[in-house]
């Protein structure tokens, strides 16, 4: 059973805590139980749902620099303003009238 002890999500009666694997702050990184060493990859905050400040649809998410749930295109700054698209496994640039735009 886990319990919060300061910033550590600990297993009761053991010196083990929730730990982000290899201390790498990457999306979808595994969380495992590991011996407590006290570094940042073992420290957590409890944020209650009513206090979670998630941007709503159309609002800017400053962490990622995009609006939430809003369609967009990525446009080149080169003179013809082609947009980024995917063809098969390749990322390409296309003119607006050659695609669905």
Are both 56 and 94 inside the same structural domain? yes
User: Residues 3-31: what's their mean pLDDT?
Assistant: 93
Are both 71 and 94 inside the same structural domain? yes
Are both 33 and 60 inside the same structural domain? no
User: Residues 10-30: what's their mean pLDDT?
Assistant: 92
Distance CA 101, CA 97 (A): 6
Which pTM was predicted?
0.59
Q: Is the pLDDT assigned to residue 18 strictly greater than 70?
A: yes
Are both 56 and 89 inside the same structural domain? yes
Is there a contact between 66 and 75 (Cβ–Cβ < 8 Å)?
no
Domain that holds residue 25: 2-42
Are both 62 and 87 inside the same structural domain? yes
pLDDT at 56: 87
pLDDT at 100: 54
Tens-digit pLDDT profile for residues 41-100:
999 999 888 888 888 899 998 888 889 999 989 888 888 889 999 999 998 989 977 555
pLDDT at 98: 57
Nearest to 32 by CA among 80, 97, 41, 40: 41
* Domains held by the chain: number: 2
């Amino acid at each position: 059973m886990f319990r919060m002890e300061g910033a550590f999500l600990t297993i009761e009666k053991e010196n083990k805590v929730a730990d982000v694997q290899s201390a790498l702050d990457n999306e979808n990184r595994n969380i495992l139980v590991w011996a407590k060493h006290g570094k940042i990859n073992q420290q957590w905050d409890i944020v209650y749902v009513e206090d979670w400040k998630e941007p709503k649809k159309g609002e800017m998410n400053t962490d990622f620099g995009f609006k939430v749930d809003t369609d967009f295109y990525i446009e080149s700054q080169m003179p013809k303003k082609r947009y980024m698209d995917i063809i098969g496994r390749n990322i390409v640039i296309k003119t607006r009238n050659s695609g669905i735009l």
